[in-house]
């Protein structure tokens, strides 16, 4: 099923929103991690400066640090904060008690004033390591190089990052929900005129209005004006077309009647009179067929739906009067709510021809049933008509020929042989299907399907 315009826009906007918020979240997470690492570097720099302030030159050379440092974590084993001092020969001359049994990396050596901030792993734990090269002047006015190292494990950093991500997810989740609601409301409001146009067109299809008369935005006014112009032109053209056909039929009726009367009144011999009368009948048949065929092709796009049961009852009342001497029993199964979305004249033509054939050929009983044909792709349902009789039936070899103009199943029965051909023309105009099949033991059943549209 093709998604609606609202669904497409909502889906596209949601994808764009999700991508934007996702990239924003990644950028914020990266910025926070960089900021947290910078804060750790600053903190370790402060710890290292505290060590430098506490260090003193020993009498025998080298450096010494007091047993107790201002930062208590240096004195607690595995506290997460570690420090050591390495001389220029790569020997550890001091390490904090917290580093008991371990040592920080000795390489690479750092020149005085050079610092290095990196990650390192000790006993399976990741550490942030800050190293700084120092030149210390001894009593002999000689400079001796040392490397001060301070390290802190990742636990606090990871805890901060985890808390930030939880907070970020909570806020972003709330923002996504809020933005989705706002976005849906905005799209619904923005597309409301399109829904209004669709509802108005639906009312035109149902016969409750003939034009689009709502107040529409400027962007839709051109569309609605063109639709109204199309509806007016189609209605006017259909009316002119049918009026022209009626005028043509009326104009031809009189000359044919005069010609028939002249043939009967003149002193023609019987054979010539029969030949001329046959040609007059053939002319009348051709004119009638072509007029009905042309009318069947003039199908309107938007029409007022007609009640199928009402038109069927009207045709049946007329046929019962015509075939009063046959006392035909009619079994009708058509719901009163069932609608035909097409021209009422086309429906009357189909019902009239098919029911007339059924009355003409039946022995005693005629059946008429109808049911809707639905298709989820369309809003207007179609109709399936089934008309049957209990007559002698039509041989299977004649099912296709009798749908052609001028062909009759039994030449002994009166008629021009154009009824089923006209029905077929109308059904084809609606892109429907017409089929003939046996009905019971001997009768004939004609099925007409007008598809959903």
pLDDT at 27: 93
Domain topology for 306-450: Heat Shock Protein 90 (3.30.565)
Alpha-carbon distance of 223 to 74, in angstroms, equals: 80
The residue-averaged pLDDT of 291-317 equals: 74
Arithmetic mean of pLDDT over the chain: 81
| Whole-number pLDDT of residue 365 | 92
Give one DSSP letter per residue of 103-122, joined into a string.
Answer: -----S---TT-EEEEEEEE
The lowest-confidence range among 203-212, 228-237, 239-248, 354-363 is 239-248
Pairing status of strand 329-333 against strand 115-122: unpaired
CA atoms 299, 303, 305, 306: torsion sign: negative
Check residues 6 and 409 and name the one with the higher pLDDT: 6
| Residue with the two structure tokens 């040609």 | 279
pLDDT bracket for residue 230 (50, 70, 90): confident
Q: Give me the pLDDT at residue 236, please.
A: 74
Q: Which residue has the higher pLDDT, 40 or 243?
A: 40
Which of the four pLDDT bands, split at 50, 70 and 90, describes residue 301?
low
Cα 170–Cα 173–Cα 179 angle in degrees, nearest 5? 140
pLDDT at 35: 92
Predicted local confidence at residue 429, as pLDDT:
83
- State the Cα–Cα distance between residues 292 and 245, nearest whole angstrom: 9
Nearest CA among 248, 245, 190, 200 for reference residue 227:
200
Sign of CA dihedral 18, 19, 22, 27: negative
**Where residue 368 falls among pLDDT bands split at 50, 70, 90?**
very high
pLDDT of residue 417: 43
pLDDT of 413: 41
Kindly report which listed range (247-256, 362-371, 438-447) carries the lowest average pLDDT score: 247-256
pLDDT of residue 407 exceeding 60: no
Which of 99-103, 203-207, 438-442 bottoms out in mean pLDDT, i.e. has the lowest? 203-207
13 backbone dihedrals φ, ψ, rounded to 5° = -65, -35
C-alpha Rg value of the chain to the nearest Å: 49
Average pLDDT rounded to a whole number, residues 70-77 = 86
Domain boundaries, the chain: 12-160, 234-297, 306-450
Q: Is the per-residue pLDDT at 61 higher than 70?
A: no
Least confident piece of the model among 227-231, 250-254, 342-346, 376-380: 250-254
More confident residue, 9 or 395: 9
Asked if residue 295 has pLDDT above 70, the reply is no
**Confidence band (pLDDT; 50, 70, 90) for 293?**
low
Given 3.30.450, 3.40.1000, 1.20.120, 3.30.70, which CATH number is that of 12-160?
3.30.450
Does position 59 have pLDDT exceeding 80, yes or no? no
Q: How confident is the model at residue 203 (pLDDT cuts 50, 70, 90)?
A: confident
What's the confidence (pLDDT) of residue 200?
82
> Highest mean pLDDT: which of 1-5, 20-24, 411-415?
20-24
* Sequence-distant (≥ 6) Cβ neighbours of residue 254 within 8 angstroms: none
Tell me, what's the pLDDT at 414? 41
How many Å apart are CA 217 and CA 130, to the nearest integer? 66
Q: Report the pLDDT value the prediction gives residue 442, as an integer from 0 to 100.
A: 76
């Amino acid at each position: 099923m093709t998604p609606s315009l609202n669904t497409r826009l909502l889906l596209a906007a949601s994808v764009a929103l999700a991508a934007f918020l996702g990239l924003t979240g990644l950028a914020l997470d990266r910025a926070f991690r960089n900021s947290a690492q910078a804060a750790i570097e600053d903190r370790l720099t402060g710890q290292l400066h505290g060590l430098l302030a506490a260090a003193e030159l020993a009498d025998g050379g080298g450096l010494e640090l007091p047993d107790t440092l201002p930062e208590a974590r240096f004195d607690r084993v595995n506290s997460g904060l570690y420090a050591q001092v390495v001389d220029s020969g790569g020997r550890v001359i001091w390490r904090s008690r917290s580093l008991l049994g371990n040592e920080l990396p000795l390489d690479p050596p750092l020149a005085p004033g050079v610092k290095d901030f990196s990650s390192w792993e000790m006993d399976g734990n990741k550490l942030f390591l800050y190293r700084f090269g120092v030149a210390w002047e001894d009593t002999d006015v000689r400079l001796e190089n040392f490397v001060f190292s301070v390290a802190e494990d990742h636990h606090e950093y990871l805890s901060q990052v985890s808390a930030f991500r939880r907070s970020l997810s909570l806020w972003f989740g709330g923002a996504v929900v809020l933005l989705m609601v706002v976005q849906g409301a905005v799209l619904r409001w923005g597309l409301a005129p399109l829904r209004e146009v669709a509802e108005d067109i639906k009312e035109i299809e149902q016969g409750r209005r003939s034009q689009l008369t709502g107040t529409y935005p400027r962007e839709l006014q051109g569309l609605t004006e063109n639709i109204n112009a199309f509806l007016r032109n189609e209605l006017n053209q259909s009316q002119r077309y049918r009026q022209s056909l009626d005028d043509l039929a009326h104009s031809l009726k009189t000359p044919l009647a005069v010609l028939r009367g002249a043939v009967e009144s003149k002193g023609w011999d019987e054979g010539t009179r029969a030949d001329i009368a046959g040609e007059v009948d053939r002319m009348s048949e051709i004119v009638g067929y072509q007029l009905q065929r042309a009318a069947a092709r003039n199908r309107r796009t938007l029409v007022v739906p007609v009640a199928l049961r009402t038109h069927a009852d009207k045709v049946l009342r007329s046929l019962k009067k015509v075939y009063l001497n046959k006392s035909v029993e009619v079994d009708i199964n058509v719901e009163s709510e069932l609608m035909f979305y097409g021209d009422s004249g086309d429906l009357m033509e189909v019902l009239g021809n098919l029911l007339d054939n059924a009355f003409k050929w039946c022995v005693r009983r005629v059946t008429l049933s109808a049911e809707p044909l639905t298709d989820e792709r369309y809003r207007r349902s179609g109709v399936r008509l089934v008309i049957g009789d209990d007559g002698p039936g039509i041989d299977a070899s004649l099912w296709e020929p009798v749908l052609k103009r001028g062909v009759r199943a039994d030449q002994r029965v009166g008629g021009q042989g154009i009824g089923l051909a006209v029905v077929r023309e109308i059904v084809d105009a609606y892109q429907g299907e017409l089929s003939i099949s046996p009905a019971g033991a001997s009768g004939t059943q004609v099925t007409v399907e007008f598809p959903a549209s």
